[in-house]
Each structure stands twice: as structure tokens, then as C-alpha cells.
A and B are shown apart, each in its own frame.
Chain A
Amino acid sequence: MESVHAIELRHITKRFGKVVANDSIDLTLDRGEILSLLGENGSGKTTLMNMLSGIYFPDEGEILVGGKPVSIRSPKDAFDHGIGMIHQHFKLVNVFTAAENIALGLPGSGRLDRKAIAAKVREISDRYGFGIDPNKKVYDMSVSEKQTVEIVKVLYRGADILILDEPTAVLTPQETDRLFRILRTMREDGKAIVIITHKLHEVMALSDKVAVLRKGKYIGTVKTSETSPQALTDMMVGHSVTLNIDRPLPVDPTPRLEVQGLTCLDAEGVKKLDGVSFTAMGGEILGIAGIAGSGQRELLEAIAGLYPVAEGSILYSPDGKPPVNLVGKPPMEIKKAGVAMAFVPEDRLGMGLVGGMGMTGNMMLRSWRKGKGVFVNRKDPNALALEVKERLEVVTPSVEFPVRRLSGGNVQKVLVGREIASSPTVLMSAYAVRGLDINTSYTIYNLMTEQKMKGVAVIYVGEDLDVLLELCDRILVLCGGQVSGVVDARSVTKEEVGLLMTRVGGGKEDAIHE
């Protein structure tokens, strides 16, 4: 039987500069089914779906909706074809009511008939059991309610193909269950649904089919009933690649940083870290693996004193002194307590460097307290800038050249170079090689290893499992804010880490959840 697919993608390719985000991808979606789009971060899931929702336009390939080739150039085109996307970051106006948000951009009479809109919103709401109040202001809503408004918004526009980008990332387990019930009701109603996710248990629980992407390439589609979490993980992470990163054995590791039962809540009261405990040793590299948003950033920021800690302790042991608890101390005091901690943030130009200043100026951001009197000392930072430029081969016309205009790799080198120059005892870095080319990445790896050999406790948050496996001595795996395992990087396999990242096989945690 040859039925017409709701959506068919043929050889879709999308490039951003030199990076191929999607490489000749084929995909089909039928009515009355839920398809999970599975893949690691940077595998191109969101890019692919953004081409359906009109945010990007494919460089090559064609999109067929209901069997007919279409050209989707704007979100409005997508709506016209019945495609609605619910983004990870909600597109809602906070000071408007649910009904006002839903009515945005729709044609209609000049006078706004709030009652008629509210009535139609209620009708949709009742049909699928959303239970939303059309007259409630968005700023009074929970995350789950906001998401519901987004869903109603696309249904109101008559969408019968729904794309949800990591819809459960911000939800509590109860809210997730509720969402899944809604999605199943919509499937019964004949809608076609795509859910982008990297949580395997959700894939298994919800979807009919699973399509897997890896590094921009389409790996395959399988029926959920005919696969297993193990098989999906293998498809997702692929086989190990040998990188030949130089990894000497740790010399005389000593406990430097002891984290015990660390729990952090975000502004909405959602647990970002849940009872995290581990020890970082001087003289070794501790890798932190996990799917993006598993609490890596919060963990580093909590240690650096930038993220509020709800519970737990962070004990820092300086050389030959009793341990100090860093919790509750402001960043400056953490420094004063004798802790020399270098923090290479995720967002290098946002939190680490001032884009408009040159290398010298940025070096001074670390040392401005050292000078005496009202005048700044430019001589030492200048010397340091020149040294960093020399040693790390930063390509810049001069040390006064604004760092914003350097390439990503060079910006990264400036940041890492500055942090290392403060001779830290703990060096934390998050996504230090994000967006860098191979050679620059190796320079950064070697710097980390060099610091490790000096007895520094290096904490390295990375995305690429291959790198973590070859660079680190131990790997701490985070999943949903909890530690799902600490493994020896020399003996563990990529598949084992992959499973820990998605909790499957995490044994202990699974037991807790049952």
C-alpha cells in the first residue's frame, strides 16, 4: 500500500559557513504517529526541524507536504501548510493573556474580539484536555502552562503537523506525563507529531518510530517496538574514534575539591543539581559528561560561587591547610580564602572576556586589584598578554586589538591563557573547544594536560565523548542533575558512557525511579 506521507524530506542539506549541519537527510512522517528525532547535541535535529518551520531554508533537497513539493520560507508559510513548531524557548509575550498571545498575527477584524478568541481557545482546550484559562497572563503561568499555550497557539492556527523541540527539558515528571497524555490524544486525532529529544526512556514510552541523527547525518529510522535503548544508543553515539591525545598517568593525585550532596535550584524552583557528590584530585583531569542541560553549567558556576547552592558542601583543600567550605561565599571571598580557581565559562565572550577590549585589557580584568593607588598598572598585564600571545600562538595584529574581532579559537586561547597564568590549583573549563578547529583543539588539550602534570585539579566539561575518553583520567557522568556514574576513562567504553548519560544502565538511579 503506497499512502501519502504527511511530510517527506528528500536529501535535505544545510550548511552554516563551512559547517554542514544537515547532510542529505531523508525522513518521512505519517499522520496519526509520533516520531522521535533522536541525536546528541549538535547532531542537527533542531536545524532540520527549523527548515520545516520556516526559520531556515534548505541549501539543497526538497520538502513534500501531503505529497506535494513545497517551499517554506517563513513561519507563516509553515502555518499555511499546517506545520506548527513549539520551540524550546517559548515565543510568548509575558504581559499578554493566553488568548492575546494566541491571536497574535492572525488576520481578522480591526477590533479585537477578545470574547470570541477566548471561546475558541476554550473549545480547543477542552477537546484535548489542556485546561488553560484564556484570560490568564503569561507572567503568572508555570513553565508547563506556557508550553500548553504554545501548543494551543499552533492548534488554533489549524496545524496538524506538530514539532516539539525538547518539550520535556523544562518539565517536572508529572508535567511530562501530562504532556504525553495530550500528545497521545492528538495522535488519536490524526495529527502527525515530531518530538526532538535525547532522552531515551521518553522515546521508548511515547513514540511509534525513532529517527536517529549523528553529526548532521541521517543514521536510520526504526520502529520503537522493534528496538531497544541499547540499540538506539549505539546508533546515537556511533563507534569510537581514536584521537591520539597524549595522556600521561596522573602523578601523586591528592584530593583538592570535595563536593558533597550538592543541590541547586533555579529561579523557578526546579532542581538543576540533585545531590551531586564527587572528589576532584590535583594532578588529574576529571571529565564531566552528560547531555547538554544536565547540570554541567550549574555545577561549575556553583563551585565558582556564581550559582546559589540550596544544600550540600564544597570543600576545598589548599596545600597544607585545613579544608574550607566554599558554599555561600561570594566569588571574591572564594579567592581571598586562598582558592586560586580559574574558570573558563561556556559563553566565552559573555562571561569571560570583554569583547571591545584588547588582550592587555582582558588580562587586567584578573589583576586589577593588585595595583596600588588610583592608576592601573598596565605594564604587567601587557607583558602577560605578550607571553600568552607568544606561547599559545594567538593570531592577533597586536595585544591591543579588540578580542571580539579575533576568531573563536584565538578568543579561547586568550581566555585559557589568562586563567592558566594565574597559576590555579583548580582549573575548570566548560566546552573549551566548542567551535574550534582540530589543531587549536589539540593546543587546548595539551594545555590542560600540562596543568594536570603541574598538580592542578582540572575539571573539563566536554561534549565530544571521544575526546573525554582520551583526555580525562576519570569521567563523571551527569544525567538530569544527578550523578549517574563516575568511571575510569581508560577502561570504560563509549557505549557505557552513552548509556549512563541517558540513565539506562545507571542501575541505582533507575531503581530509585521505579
Chain B
Amino acid sequence: MNAVLLLIYNAVLNGTPLLFGTVGEVLTEKSGNLNLGVEGMMYMGGALGLGGAFYYEMLAGQNASGLLAVLLAILCAFLGGAFGALIYSFITITLRANQNVTGLALSIFGTGAGQFIGEYMRTTSGGYVAISNQLKAAFMTSPLPAALQNIPVLGPLLFQYNVFVYLGVIIAVLMGFYLRKSRSGLYLRAVGESPATADSAGINVTRYKYLATILGGGISAIGGMVYIMTIAGCVWNHEGLSGEGWLAVALVIFCLWRPISAIFGSVLFGALMILYLRLQLPFIPDQIYKILPYVVTVIVLIFTSMRNSKDKQPPASLGLAYFREER
């Protein structure tokens, strides 16, 4: 593999957790809820996803099935994130508390909860949580046939990724289709743009907001699990996945609330995140590289607001609680 191929390959791998985080948050934000708790939900997803696979293997022993481990990890991570999003939804939709404060609180809570669960698993299992190499393969190697993987150039470029890369792309494409082409997607966007309009048209605003936020939180949390199970090598460490959730929030803005654009955005962000490993320049510290994704987001924000395109704006009621009585 030459350097460029390797960079692309690693960019995609590193971008995948972000892709899940972003697509989930896009769904949430399309309902008008700005959930800044992505970081927390991803932490919970990471810890619970690892836990799901780890305890499953502990119970099943030698007979553990890779497929089942992957499915269990996805399910546990999803439920963890969905639970966090449910708390957020109850506080912001039902109690109508401030979304920013609640989201930040969820980030702090989720980070703590994830750390707690991770550390608990680590200490109770003798200082090291990891799954067997056989199961690791299910998480970290490509599910596609060897014939495809071995095609020169195209193989590494398209077919050698782990299962989550393909899953992420499928979810993003489905989400894009749902938002643009389906009736329910149109209603969801109406809720996020103008809840009063949606309400007067007979759309159940509360239900849409709850469902989108909980589902979105679950999808975001899968991203946390993907990080732990692929990039971090199926091991819980102290650092966890610091910063991934915030990058996902930035990526939502970068991709202008479009799931399909998020696929390309996540690859770009993934590349920017690992650039310091691949392209070392003298006198430029790693930290400079690490702020690149945020710098790019700021630049995109400046350009979109300068262009003043009405199609490329955040959902109009993003961050606002909806009171029916105020209409």
C-alpha cells in the first residue's frame, strides 16, 4: 500500500466513529433539539458496547460467535445512548429546560458514567478488559470475501474495512433518503423548522421530538462503541474517546445537516485527525494538527453565513423549546 492509499484507508477508519456520532446528531437536530450530550452518549456507548461483547464472551466461552458479539455490542451501545437521550428528551421536551445546559450536563454525566462502567469492568476483571483475538477479528477485519479484498488498489480502498464502516455508510444513506424522500421525514423537518406550524397541521410534535432524539442518541452512541472496538483495539483505557463527540457536533455543522455529506465530511475529519502521524513537518507540533477539524468547521461556518443561502441553515427552531400555549 502506498502512502496515499494508507492515508485514505486510515482516514475512513478514523472517520467512522464520527460518522455515527454525526448522523445520530443530525437526526436529533432535525427535530429542533440541539443535544450537546453527544460526547457523553458516545462514552456510554463505548463502555456499554465493550461490556456487552466482553461479558458475552465470558459467558459463552470458547463457543462465542463473532457475529453475535458484534450485534450485542451494537445493541448495548445503542441502548446506552438512547437512555442518555431519553433523559435529555424528558428534561428539554417535557420539562422544557434549556437545551444547551441540559446537553452539556449530559456530556459530563455520560463521560462520568462511561468512565465508571469502564473502570469497574477493568478492576473487577483484573486490571485489563479485552476480548479474545478471535472476537476482535469480527470487529476489526473486513466481512467481505477475500477475492474482493485482494483486488489491487480498489481492494484496500473499498473492501478492506471493518463491518462498521459499511454499516455507517448504509445508515447515513438511509437517513438521507428518509429526510428527503419520505413523508415522515418531511414532518420531522417541519417539527425542527417550525413546531407551531407542524402542530397546527396535526403533527404530534412531542412524539417526533422524542423519537428522533432517542434514536439519534442511540446511533451516536454506536459511534463510541466503534471507536473503542476498532481504533482503540477493543480495550478500555483511561482516556476513553475524548473529544470524538465534540468533533461530531462540529461535523454536523460542517456537513450542513445532510447525512450524505456527513460520509465525506467524516472521511475528511478522519484524515485531519491522523495527519500528524502521516505528514510530519518540522517545528509543527501535533496539537496544531489536532485543531484542524475545528478550524475547518469555523471556516465552513463563516462561508455558509456569508453566502446567506436559505437552504443551508440550521433548522430554524434548533435549540428552542416548544410551548403550544404561546402560539
Interface residues of A (CB under 8 A from B): 55, 74-76, 79, 91-96, 100-101, 103-106, 108-112, 137, 139
A303 vs B181: C-alpha distance when bound (angstroms)? 50
Interface flag for B307 (CB, 8 Å) = no
A104 and B186 contact, Cβ closer than 8 Å, known pairs A91-B200, A111-B181, A137-B310:
yes
Q: Which residues of B contact A111 (CB under 8 A)?
A: 181-183
A76 vs B182: C-alpha distance when bound (angstroms)? 22
Does the CB pair A92–B194 fall under 8 Å?
yes
Interface flag for B134 (CB, 8 Å) = no
A118: shortest Cβ distance to chain B, in Å? Answer: 14
Q: Which residues of A contact B200 (CB under 8 A)?
A: 55, 75, 91
A-B Cβ contacts below 8 A, count = 70
Does the CB pair A91–B202 fall under 8 Å?
no
Q: Which residues of A contact B189 (CB under 8 A)?
A: 93, 95-96
Residue in A75, A95, A109 whose beta carbon sits within 8 Å of that of B183 in the complex: A109
A139 and B197 contact, Cβ closer than 8 Å, known pairs A74-B202, A108-B183:
no
Secondary structure call for the B interface: helix
B211: shortest Cβ distance to chain A, in Å? Answer: 15
Interface flag for B98 (CB, 8 Å) = no
Q: Which residues of B contact A95 (CB under 8 A)?
A: 189, 193, 310-311, 313, 316
Residue in B closest to A75 when the chains form the complex, CB atoms: B200
Residue in A55, A91, A103, A112 whose beta carbon sits within 8 Å of that of B194 in the complex: A91
A105 vs B190: C-alpha distance when bound (angstroms)? 9
Q: Which residues of A contact B193 (CB under 8 A)?
A: 93-96
Does the CB pair A105–B202 fall under 8 Å?
yes
Does the CB pair B183–A94 fall under 8 Å?
no
Does the CB pair B190–A104 fall under 8 Å?
yes
Size class of B's contact patch? 20 to 34
Q: Which residues of B contact A137 (CB under 8 A)?
A: 310-311
B327: shortest Cβ distance to chain A, in Å? Answer: 7
Does the CB pair A76–B197 fall under 8 Å?
no
Question: What are 27 A-to-B residue pairs whose CB atoms are below 8 Å?
Answer: A75-B202, A79-B202, A91-B200, A93-B193, A93-B316, A94-B193, A94-B316, A95-B189, A95-B311, A95-B313, A96-B189, A96-B193, A101-B197, A103-B183, A103-B186, A104-B186, A104-B197, A104-B198, A104-B203, A105-B198, A105-B201, A109-B183, A110-B182, A110-B183, A111-B183, A112-B181, A112-B186
Q: Which residues of A contact B183 (CB under 8 A)?
A: 103, 108-112
Does the CB pair A105–B187 fall under 8 Å?
yes
A94 vs B316: C-alpha distance when bound (angstroms)? 9
Interface flag for B184 (CB, 8 Å) = yes
Interface flag for B196 (CB, 8 Å) = yes
Residue in B closest to A100 when the chains form the complex, CB atoms: B186
B24: shortest Cβ distance to chain A, in Å? Answer: 22
Residue of A94, A103, A105 with most chain B CB atoms under a 10 A cut-off? A105
A104 and B201 contact, Cβ closer than 8 Å, known pairs A55-B327, A91-B196, A112-B186:
yes
Q: Which residues of B contact A75 (CB under 8 A)?
A: 199-202
The 8 closest A-B pairs by CB, nearest first: A105-B201, A76-B202, A104-B201, A105-B202, A91-B197, A93-B193, A112-B183, A139-B310
